Chains A and B, each alone.
Chain A
Amino acid sequence: MTQQIIFYLLAIAITVFSILAVTSKRIVRSATYLLFVLLATAGFYMLLGYYFLFAVQVSVYAGGIMVLFIMAIFLTHKPGKDVSDRVGWRFSSSLLLSVAGLLLSGYIILNNTIGIVQFIEKEELTMQQIGTAMLGAGKQQYLLSFEMMSILLLACIVGAILIARKTKTEKNESNESEL
């Protein structure tokens, strides 16, 4: 019963905050609503019994990515200034598209989800099981994906530095303007 109440609270929080995040005019508020959505999602993972996923969601998403977001917002926007959205037919057509998509997918889900599926009690995953599955090379083990992910992260670091650094001419120009 308690779990049900917690679930519905989290569901309401996710619905309200995700809609607020995409309709808010102030960008910092939008980022804060996104943070609430991510934390409520972490609550879902905890309800499902995936404690490791919960910890990853809180530390990587709500911790790391949100700090990156806030830093980037303060680097590129004037605080307190409203952002402009699309207007006219572009706005109304995107609203129409998302509502139509929501209704269509909702209809499909309501008609096809099997009602018999029940939550089955299971003892929680131990860290040992997760570690074995992540670093094993057998069936249903994920060493290859794990290693691919490490290479992707390395490429991402190199790419982000290459894109964001100043080129030589830009550096000279900024030095001259400082003088």
Chain B
Amino acid sequence: MINNAGVPLLAYQLVSLIMFFAGIYGFFTRRNLMMMLISVELILNAADINFAVFNRYLFPGEMDGMFFALFTIAIAACETAVAIAIIINVYRNFGNAEVDNLKKMKG
């Protein structure tokens, strides 16, 4: 039986806050599409932690937060697959995966 009564809700929130803003920082400063995707994964993961933690601490009898975290993980998997397909397409057309190339598109 797990007993972590000593860990406050605040500690979990601060960890996910730092993870979220690390993701924001990476998303804005990186010029490489794969790096930007890694930052998006960090942001999504921070949101997942918050869902699970709020569910467990505030409403321990229910499991809505857990299911939202589950569905977010599934959506993240979809998003990654499509984004990587797009990145491979960009690489095929431009020779590298830098976001500045995308100024020039076909349509």
Contact = CB atoms under 8 A, between A and B. Distances in A.
Nearest to B6: A4
What class of interface size applies to chain B in its complex with A? 35 or more
Nearest 7 A/B pairs, CB to CB: A22-B26, A94-B28, A3-B4, A98-B25, A156-B78, A164-B85, A160-B85
Interface in B76-102: 76-78, 80-82, 84-89, 91-92, 96-98
Interface of A: 1, 3-4, 7, 11, 14-15, 18-19, 21-23, 27, 30-31, 34, 37-38, 41, 44-45, 47-50, 52-53, 56-57, 60-61, 64-65, 68-69, 72-73, 75-77, 83-86, 90-91, 94-95, 97-99, 101-102, 105-106, 109-110, 113-115, 117-123, 125, 129-130, 133-134, 140, 142, 145, 149, 152-153, 156-157, 159-161, 163-164, 166, 170
7 contacts: A4-B6, A50-B66, A90-B29, A113-B13, A117-B58, A133-B67, A140-B64
Given A3-B6, A22-B30, A95-B29, A50 B56 contact: yes
Contact of A77 (B56, B73, B84, B97): B97
A114 B6 CA distance: 15
The binding surface of chain B is classed by DSSP as helix
